[in-house]
Structure 1
């Protein structure tokens, strides 16, 4: 009686071929890379306009909380009319 494929090499003859393919894929695989431009970095920074706006909002909050905030109805009316009628 003749026994072919004696040992563990005959159990899965395609395993070595799959291992070679996987190794080849891993070698050719490139990692993804993200780069942020200097312009985008500048846009992420808080600008001076935003800082000034934040200060003004904080001052207005304090005035409202203390009851010192006064509304000028003429300015509000002018702003509304300018928004809707002057385009």
Structure 2
């Protein structure tokens, strides 16, 4: 029986463990980082929509408290249906 090109397999299980340990050590040293877009920063700084939003919230709040706010069930059902239909 003749065996050609027989070479030992270079498998050392400790090499993999060493690499995993190094990767874990690198990930421990990294810090979390957050980035906010320029548009989001501008919205926070200028609050350009704050007055409009507050006016709308106050209108809805007054309608709810006075009992004038009515939900249209057909319109609500249409919006819910279109939302779930768009997710398909």
**Which band: TM-score by shorter chain?**
0.3 to 0.5
The normalised TM-score by structure 2 is: 0.45
